[in-house]
Amino acid sequence: MASSQEEKGPGTRPRLRSAPHLGLPGLHGNEAGSEASASGREMKLKRFLLRYYPPGIILEYVQGGEVKTKSIDLLDLNATTDVGALVEDIRKSEPLITASRKEQVVHLILRLQEKLGQPVDHKFHLFKVLRAHILPLTNVAFNKSGSCFITGSYDRTCKLWDTASGEELRSLEGHRNVVYAIAFNNPYGDKIATGSFDKTCKLWSVDTGKCYYTFRGHTAEIVCLSFNLQSTLIATGSMDTTAKLWDIQSGEEVVRLTGHSAEIIALSFNTTGDRVITGSFDHTVAVWDVDTGRRLHTLIGHRAEISSAQFNWDCTLIITGSMDKTCMQWNALSGKRVATLSGHDDEVLDVCFDYAGQRIATASADGTARVYDAETKKCIAKLEGHGGEISKICFNPQGSRILTASSDKTARLWDPQTGQCIQILEGHNDEIFSCAFNYKGNIIITGSKDNTCRIWR
């Protein structure tokens, strides 16, 4: 894994990650500093890039003729952080940031601080209803900017839509059964992966709709998939109890992950791309080394099927949700259980971290959602009001709102601090099973069993 240093700053811990193989995940537009000519340890700083969510600065530098990047994660940055002291802390551990660059870094962090301090009182309105497919939808997903999104369906297609106009841009056809799992290769957004009950995964071009590859090898339905952030690999999880890693460039299977004794229904890469987790109906989650395919840890503790599993941003924690009504928190490095977050009266159907990895949200079949502090493990808020099970939950990128999708035909927006319901998104005629924010947090998409998806802005 990439080397990392940690220093305790005044209220903020800058986490430095040297990541030559790490793309530039989560960069906001082309927010770049001026060309810089600082040097240190034979490294030459080219420019800074600003990442708003989660807050951080990316350093682009040249070493040995090769352009590399490293990120300084500022996950604890808030309105009261002493920026001057923070920059001094960063300078102590980052040779690329020389005295001549100090003012520029202060300016960048002040911009981040200003962005984080902006109030969120956005009221969402229904913008478009899309009767997307003849047969039921399975999933919806945004590209990073939210300029377009995709829908998967029982009609065996995946459709690409323009968010601003609600127009269908193209239909990706070729699967011989239900298109169940879909994803963009965010943050790049130039490729789409589709996983199908026909046991194959296909990789498509967003620009042309051309199918680059059909990945064959699973012996049962593919029900989950994910790109790594570096956009070099796709992971597929199947009802055949295995997961596979595929190379995007060559189209080859590079690793087969075997060891589960039941279906794999959840998988997720960490942000650095060197680990992947798989959640299974065998009640366990496995942590795998991406390069070797070796199983590093088996997370044992749940007493029923896994529903959801995720890494936090800095790759130190894993959360898992289960049909046993609990969410568990694990140390990603040791594989040891850190906490059991209980309180739900029915199955936990979805779990997620906020972008900074400081809070955890859980959604349950009991019709409620809960927010926990990842550090103290305490329940901060209970989100009560839905009249049916909640199958999907997510934070907005700013971490100031939670979105839930329910079988009561509504999606709701909540304040994660107070648990107060801010807004009810009504209009669907059947269960809502999918919901998502775009990167700016100002557009929402909901997908329902009524065969429509709705754009809210």
pLDDT digits (tens, 9 = 90+) for 405-425: 999 999 999 999 999 999 999
Asked whether the beta carbons of 194 and 206 are under 8 A apart, the reply is no
Q: What is the pLDDT of residue 39?
A: 43
What is the end-to-end Cα distance of the chain in Å, rounded? 39
Using pLDDT thresholds of 50, 70 and 90, give the confidence band for residue 117.
Answer: confident
Between residues 23 and 110, the one the model is more confident about = 110
What mean pLDDT comes out for the span 37-64? 85
Per-residue pLDDT tens digits for 258-267: 999 999 999 9
Q: What is the DSSP string of 253-298?
A: EEEEE---SS-EEEEEE-TTSSEEEEEETTS-EEEEETTT--EEEE
Nearest Cα to Cα of residue 86 among 43, 47, 56: 56
pLDDT for the residue 260: 98
Strand order in the sheet with 233-238: 222-227, 233-238, 243-247, 253-257
Bridge partner residues of 393 (DSSP) = 404
Residue tagged 């997908």 (tokens): 447
Q: What is the pLDDT of residue 12?
A: 53
Helix axes 102-117, 83-93, angle to 10 degrees: 130
CB 303 within 8 A of CB 263: no
The band of 21, judged by pLDDT with boundaries at 50, 70 and 90, is very low
Residues 6+ apart with CB under 8 A from 444: 124, 403, 411, 425, 435, 436, 437, 438, 455, 456, 457
11 token code pair: 């209220």
Digit-coded pLDDT (tens) for 130-155: 998 989 899 999 999 999 999 999 99
Average pLDDT rounded to a whole number, residues 230-241: 97
Q: Which of the four pLDDT bands, split at 50, 70 and 90, describes residue 19?
A: very low
DSSP state letters, 80-104? T--HHHHHHHHHHH-TTS-GGGHHH
pLDDT at 42: 84
Smallest Cα–Cα separation from 415: which of 368, 442, 382?
Answer: 382
**Region 293-322: what's the mean pLDDT?**
98
As beta bridge partners, residue 289 has 275
For 382-406, what is each residue's pLDDT tens digit? 999 999 999 999 999 999 999 999 9
DSSP code string of 159-171? EEEETTT--EEEE
Share above pLDDT 70 across residues of the chain, in percent, rounded to a whole number: 91
> How many CA atoms lie less than 13 Å away from 399 in the CB half-sphere?
23
Residue-wise pLDDT for 324-383, tens only, equals: 999 999 999 999 999 999 999 999 999 999 999 999 999 999 999 999 999 999 999 999
Judge whether 271 and 229 are in contact, CB under 8 Å: yes
Q: 74 falls in which pLDDT band (50, 70, 90)?
A: very high
Mean pLDDT (the chain, rounded):
91
The amino acid occupying position 322 is S
Task: Give the model confidence (pLDDT) of 76-89 as tens digits.
Answer: 999 899 999 999 99
Which superfamily does CATH assign the domain made up of 126-456 to? YVTN repeat-like/Quinoprotein amine dehydrogenase (2.130.10.10)
Per-residue confidence (pLDDT) for residue 118, from 0 to 100: 83
Q: Are 31 and 102 in contact (CB under 8 A)?
A: no
pLDDT at 33 over 60: no
> Which stretch of 13-17, 150-154, 217-221 has the lowest confidence by average pLDDT?
13-17
Give the pLDDT band of residue 2 (cuts 50, 70, 90): very low
Domain ranges of the chain: 43-116, 126-456
Helix (H) or strand (E) holding 212: strand 211-215
> Is the pLDDT score of 28 beyond 60?
no
Confidence at residue 116, expressed as pLDDT on a 0 to 100 scale: 86
Count CB-CB contacts under 10 A for residue 110: 11
Q: Could you tell me which residues come within 8 angstroms of residue 283 by beta carbon, excluding any fewer than 6 positions away?
A: 300, 302, 303, 304, 305, 306, 322, 324
pLDDT in the model for residue 41:
55
Report residue 142 as tokens. 């945004």
